[in-house]
Structure 1
């Protein structure tokens, strides 16, 4: 080897040192295991690996993440947490109190997260004033999905109020369609209940009931009206709803057997998979009475304290990548949600996502942006479970009394606070 070749080899080798010094491992615990979710997670892996790091996938199947949280607790207690874990809402605060989460302020300052995120979202990602988690997306929960062809056949009009909602349901029923496609599972019952609370009590009343858990609001005449309306709604659901998965309920709309479904924007992935076009084959409307309001569910990755410096650099690069516009676009187009960045270009998104982002920004500017109780954002899992128990028992009991239900609701929440 001549002198020039030796010099070239040294220069070539030296160029690898910065990459080697930066290379670390990120182990990510998540439950993005189906269809579009998995494609989105694989993209995040690819982007992190392009920065020279190693991605160790720790996927635990189960839509709600209960199994993943069980695994995470075992790992954390033994002093061996992953780099990042899919944790959301109040649970982030609980992990923060245990002193296990890493601060991301340096990355957040560099990326100007405080200006990119609505303050309501930023606050969820912080513990004790410090960023400890990065938001991946924003789901809107208070959507009403309708099949316009079914509506046309029934002579029904897309509703903008609860009165119009029940008028449309009557026409759908009379025409032989299932008015409301529903899956009789506690979280789905809770989603319907939450929509009605939002509609009847408004965003501030909703906040007092579920975030502040104010007894006077929980037992108010308006809450009695919510339960009475829930009972009325029950009459428009078919007899086979018990135990049905949400995507099977969406399938009833896609197949033209049902007219409406109350479900978050993840339902859109089913329509997309069936080759249907938003605004043409299906319509998304804010649930009647919740126009201007936005019940949110946010997926986020909380970062755990690590001892290895290279792994910490990899962890920071993971956080940067999640907030990158390229990833935000790809992930959310696959998942049905919208990006968390307020400056995101939405031109390549469908009409439902564009409407969702518009409503998200408007709601964030006032009191309309509120955390979903049914999806773990508004209160602890104990409070959520207490509400689900009362709501599902009421929903499945034809003789249930709305006035008794509000007392049971307040008592159940008080028992777990």
Structure 2
């Protein structure tokens, strides 16, 4: 995609050129994007900032689905040595930092770009607190996709992407029976990955109504939730013994290489396929297991800008935020990341069908808040622990259900 520079970015570039290389504004950026596709995406932001005359200092922190990085970020802010910018997700993860007065607001940029009108309410709920904007949204991820290797499916006689859990399980059975040596389901056996798969099954079984009943109403008594537990445990038979502790991108690599047929994972997995030179529709497939009108759960990434007494930091932060939200920044980054731009006023005419599904949901405002928006952090952790215990033990459905019910009410 080719996007002409906006006046805003053109002005930033011109301004940086006047500063000169000797006075380039340093910007230390902490994030957790360390896989091939993720690293390629963040380099787009870094390259753009450096071309504007800045000095991007990359500080990736791997591990824990972002948990390790968030710990570093919070500790640095509380210790008086904050980075220039830091990655978080759409969630309540940075609310305590706002309450503690540790973050600068982005009201000037929000007013200039008319975020009040441009952004969906479900996004604003995460980044606007007490009337002020505290984070720049850079993308929209949908965490609950099923990815597949087209060549493996062809060998198994699976002719279409599964559109519900019954079709997923039928396809897994076909791979298991007809393609010896190939693992039907690649899973990274880490808690957050197990929970992505669990919630994907939940969406497939109950859609928006079940999602809100569980996370907002904290009611797990429905037959659809019980079926979610049963279907989730059925998936265990398709996973290989090497799953525990496996990183998500290694599981994606198994699908890319044809060592596995399917993976439940967010659309950041697409960045790995793209980075490997694979094409959607030809080499790999994507499906929403409740069909094309599956509620698009808000996942994705923001950057916050901690307060600092160092000279020039606030100016660098303003330029970083404007660049990240710019049309060209959004397109360049998201083309590599596998996510969709948060802006709907960029050229998306040549995107693949996976991205087109997300763009359609965004334009229709068919979005659904993530579970972190409804549950307290302690409840999120307790629920995820309960899901992982159920997956990794012989615990009964009844006992797991009781544990999860207690967890969501914390």
TM-score class, shorter: 0.7 to 0.9
Alpha-carbon offset, residue 203 of structure 1: 1.3
Whole-angstrom distance in 1 between the partners of 2:207 and 2:233? 19
**Equivalent pair of 1:182/1:237 in contact (CA under 8 Å):** yes
Whole-angstrom distance in 2 between the partners of 1:149 and 1:55? 41
Equivalence for 2:293: 291
| Structure-2 change in CA distance of 1:92 and 1:132 (3 Å) | same
1:4-403 correspondence to structure 2 within 5 Å: 19=19, 24-62=25-63, 64-88=65-89, 89-157=91-159, 158-175=161-178, 176=180, 177-210=182-215, 212=216, 214-215=217-218, 217-288=219-290, 291-307=293-309, 310-362=312-364, 364-365=365-366, 368-371=367-370, 373=371, 379-398=375-394, 400-403=395-398
Structure 1, residues 98-118: CA drift from partner, whole Å, max 9, x if none?
A: 121111111111112233322
Two-structure CA RMSD over aligned residues (Å): 2.6
Structure 1, residues 368-391: CA drift from partner, whole Å, max 9, x if none?
A: 4231x4xx6654443222122111
* Other structure's SS at 2:30 match: strand
Whole-angstrom distance in 1 between the partners of 2:53 and 2:275? 33
Alpha-carbon offset, residue 408 of structure 1: 0.7
The TM-score normalised by the length of structure 1 is: 0.85
Structure 1, residues 146-184: CA drift from partner, whole Å, max 9, x if none?
A: 222222222224321222222222222221343222222
Alpha-carbon offset, residue 308 of structure 1: 5.8
Equivalence for 2:400: 405
Equivalence for 2:10: none
* Other structure's SS at 2:162 match: coil
How many residues end up aligned between the 2 structures? 390
**Equivalent pair of 2:25/2:55 in contact (CA under 8 Å):** yes
Whole-angstrom distance in 2 between the partners of 1:92 and 1:401? 36
**Equivalent pair of 2:274/2:336 in contact (CA under 8 Å):** no
Whole-angstrom distance in 1 between the partners of 2:113 and 2:235? 46
**Equivalent pair of 2:36/2:272 in contact (CA under 8 Å):** no
The TM-score normalised by the length of structure 2 is: 0.86
Alpha-carbon offset, residue 253 of structure 1: 2.3
Alpha-carbon offset, residue 292 of structure 1: 3.0
**Equivalent pair of 2:292/2:357 in contact (CA under 8 Å):** no
* Other structure's SS at 2:94 match: helix
* Other structure's SS at 2:224 match: helix
Alpha-carbon offset, residue 16 of structure 1: 9.8
* Other structure's SS at 2:268 match: helix
What are structure 1's unaligned runs of at least 5 residues? 1-14
**Equivalent pair of 2:205/2:290 in contact (CA under 8 Å):** no
